[in-house]
Amino acid sequence: MSDADINETSACMAYVTCGSDDEAHAIARAVLGEGLAACANIISGMRSLYRWQGEVREDTETVLILKTQRGRFSALTARVYALHSYDVPCVVEIPLVDGHQDFLDWIAVETGRGSATGCVS
């Protein structure tokens, strides 16, 4: 898929790191309930090493992966920021450039944007 093929209805994933399973679950429930995401995966027990305020730190985090559409990503990001405990939460978009068309269409329907045009089957 070329950049020209990626549009507002193209599917994407939001990769989010959370401070706990409970936080990831609360964020997932909220964005699913609001139609900002079609699906959430919660992966517990990730070890993170990172630089923060001049120090190298290490923590256990929970990964939250949300499936949505590009046209919903900004609203999804704003909602995650509003619910998140971190000063600077990690919320990044990962385009889904290929996949099973029925799954991509399901994301489109569940996020209220109709057919997932622009996705390669």
Residue 9 banded pLDDT, cuts 50, 70, 90 = confident
> Does residue 85 lie in a domain region?
yes
Output the average pLDDT for the chain.
89
> Does residue 2 lie in a domain region?
no
> Does residue 116 lie in a domain region?
no
| H helical segments located in the chain | 21-33, 70-83, 101-110
CA atoms within 13 A on the CB side of 23: 19
What CATH number does residue 20 fall under? 3.30.70.120
> Is 55 exposed, middle or buried, given 0-12, 13-18 or 19+ CB atoms closer than 10 A?
exposed
> Does residue 121 lie in a domain region?
no
Tally the domains of the chain: 1
Q: Which domain holds residue 18?
A: 9-110
Q: What is the pLDDT of residues 37-84, one digit of tens each?
A: 999 999 999 999 999 999 999 999 999 999 999 999 999 999 999 999
> Does residue 1 lie in a domain region?
no
The interaxial angle of helices 21-33 and 70-83, nearest 10 deg, is: 130
> Does residue 55 lie in a domain region?
yes
Residues 6+ apart with CB under 8 A from 38: 32, 67, 68, 106, 107, 109, 110, 111
**pTM of the model as a whole:** 0.86
Choice between 8 and 6, residue whose per-residue pLDDT is larger: 8
